[in-house]
Amino acid sequence: MTSMRKLNRKFPVHILVFLFPAVLIYTVFMIYPMIDSLRLSLFSSDAKNVVHWVGLENYRELLTDPTLSNRLWGALKNNLIFFVIHMCVQNPVGLLLAYLLSLKIRGSVVYRTLIFTPTVLSVVIVGFAWKLILSPLWGISSHIPLLNLMNLGVENSALITLSLISVWQYVGIPMMLFLASIIRIPEEFLEAARVDGANAWTIFWKIQFPLLLPTAGIVGVLTFVGNFNAFDLVYSAQGALAGPSFSTDLLGTFFYRTFFGFQLQGGNPYLGSAVAGIMLLIILVGVLIYLFGFQRRIENVEL
Amino acid sequence: MNPKTKTFFSHAGVHTVLLIYTFIALFPTLLIVMNSLKARLSIFGAPLEPPLPSTFDLVGYQTVFSSAHFEQYFLNSLIVTIISLVLILGFGAMASFALAEYDFQTNPLLGIYLAIGIMVPIRLGTVSLLKMMVALGINNTLFALILVYVASGIPLAVFVLTAFFKTIPKELKDAGRIDGASEYRVFWLVLPLVRPALGTVAIFNMIPVWNDLWFPLILAPLESTKTVILGAEVFLGQFISDWNAVLAALTLAVLPILVLYIIFSRQLIRGLTQGAVK
């Protein structure tokens, strides 16, 4: 009330002072670059370095130039596989671990702290460490079953291997988010089901799982945004060329090469902006599907 | 555990699964740290063995410190991370206080505007950011990195802190106002009350800022401005065949964040499990 009265009395300078630094830095260094990148994607420079408007020409080039479109579709396909593996392995394993931790067994705090450790490590370090571990030179993988199936140097297993490394690193995030919402489910719900004679299996699928759907949605959208923005892991384990023969190329590495160049190939900021524009579109579509499709439909089961 | 709970796993089964997974989670890091302390011969001869007095060797660390400026990289990472965190928390808290406290016309819209950055990754604006930093003459400075991290950290900070400021009882603030405190003074008085949330936001931002490769690589790749992660990345590429040096560099890059994690793990996990995201 006091603040309201103050508002009517004089111009609220203090509100501006409070908001100004955050809004300024955020607008200048986050929102503006995003919009400006989209603008730049509509320009191009010629041999004499004169910049001129080309409309959607960069996008057309990306989609129709034989080499570029090949790389773009390849990166998109790899990125989709990368995402599907996260959804099918990382999130179910995260849910299983969360469920086991929610049973309040002795030492569960220690377990969850240790299992979360890889998530805080740098992706660069994780990528390189795994590269060494899987290297035939070191020969560790030959001692351990299953590990010998993972090979970063072979075209048809490199992408799956990289995806599993990423799953290994980030499984802690869905685990924590699922754990938080399992804990929040009121005990009476479960008690009531137990009185009715339901076993743990039925209780999980009939009561706990439906109540976890909102969290599953958040986990899904976070996975999507993270995956379609991934770069560091591929760059550190496989290099900017995302080898062998582009089999681990993701949109992030494709963006980097297009914009920054690699080896003898020069970079092209305008074409690079267009790649960023496509990535932005993909991420926005994912977020909107979540906001309007998923979140709205599950509102009625939320607590 | 509730004795009446019948699970589809026995107690021993639960422990077995969690123990196996804990091992999987820790094994790679342990392997790297362990072998970084060993002589070359036993790195290859007995990779799964811990360093013994007979195989102990620090030659990798000597190579790292004599051929790369890791002290400099540490200092750079520290400067960037600490200044970014202070600014994110300071500016974030001020904006959140305003959004939570005052009922001005554009308030809801401004909240949505600031929330966009939670979902949209700042990397997609890189082309323009690099152009801008070059135009301002601050590319290849730590300052450029700090500006980017502050801009990208503010959305989540505002989101989390606004929710927290809203839970502070009105009486507390009004008591201050009746005593004649200015709005700035009121903000300063309630700031300590959101300390748990500030801690959560600090840790959430610390990890990605410390670990980032993309922006150091593009905005500040000079030897004098390299962060630990970029420095390690470049070093690893150059010394790829010197396994002692590579393992030592990996260990050096992992250690600071591991130590911080051990210190702050309680707070981080509390932040995650108490719905800082929702």
Residues in B touching A126 (Cβ below 8 Å): 28
Of B22, B37, B57, the residue that ends a domain is B57
Q: How many angstroms separate the CA of residue B188 from the nearest CA in chain A?
A: 12
Instruction: Kindly list the residues from chain B whose CB atom is less than 8 angstroms away from the CB atom of residue A123.
Output: 211, 213
Which range has the worst mean pLDDT, A104-108, B80-84, B120-124, B269-273? B269-273
Number of domains in chain A: 1
Q: Look at B121 and A225 and tell me if their CB atoms are within 8 Å.
A: yes
What is the ipTM for the molecules in this complex?
0.89
pLDDT above 60 (res A88): yes
B33 and B151 share one domain: no
Cβ contact (<8 Å) for B29 and A121? yes
Q: Are residues B50 and B131 located together in one domain of the fold?
A: no
Contact criterion met (CB < 8 Å) for A22 and B114:
yes
Q: Which of A22, A132, A225 sits opposite B94 (nearest CB)?
A: A22
- Enclosing domain of residue A156: 66-301
Nearest CB to B95 within list A22, A139, A176: A22
- Say if residue B51 is preceded by a cis peptide, omega within 30 of 0: no
pLDDT at residue B23 is higher than 80: yes
Quick one: pLDDT at residue A9? 55
Q: Print the domain residue range for B259.
A: 63-273
Residues B50 and B81 both lie in one domain: no
CB B253, CB B270: distance < 8 Å: no
B195 plus B226 within the same structural domain: yes
Name the token pair of A292. Answer: 């309007």
Q: How far, CA to CA in Å, does A269 sit from each of A38, A39, A45, A258, B217? A: 11, 12, 9, 7, 16
Q: What is the CATH number of the domain that holds B180?
A: 1.10.3720.10
Taking contacts as CB-CB distances below 8 angstroms, the residues of chain A near B261 are: 117, 120
In this complex, do B22 and A115 lie within 8 Å of one another by their Cβ atoms?
yes
Q: Work out the average pLDDT over B198-202.
A: 87
Query: Helix, strand, coil % (nearest 5) of chain B?
Result: 75, 0, 25
Count of CB contacts below 8 A, A vs B? 275
Q: In this predicted structure, what is the pLDDT of residue A295?
A: 67
Domain contains A283: yes
**Nearby residues of A120 by Cβ (< 8 Å), 6 or more positions away:** B207, B211, B257, B258, B261, B268
Q: Which two tokens stand for residue A225?
A: 């945004």
Asked if B133 contacts B139 with a C-beta cutoff of 8 angstroms, the reply is yes
Residue A71 covered by a domain: yes
CA-based nearest residue in chain B for residue A26: B151
Instruction: Say if B4 falls within a structural domain.
Output: no
**Is residue A12 situated within a structural domain?**
no
Of B21, B37, B57, which residue is a domain's last? Answer: B57
- Reported as a single tens digit per residue, the pLDDT across B74-123 is 999 999 999 999 999 999 999 999 999 998 888 899 999 998 898 889 99
| Distance in angstroms (rounded) separating the CA atoms of residues A156 and B45 | 30
Predicted local confidence at residue A1, as pLDDT: 45
Is pLDDT at A83 greater than 70 in this prediction? yes
> Is B114 among the domain residues?
yes
The mean per-residue pLDDT over the stretch A14-39 comes to: 96
* One domain for residues B134 and B38: no
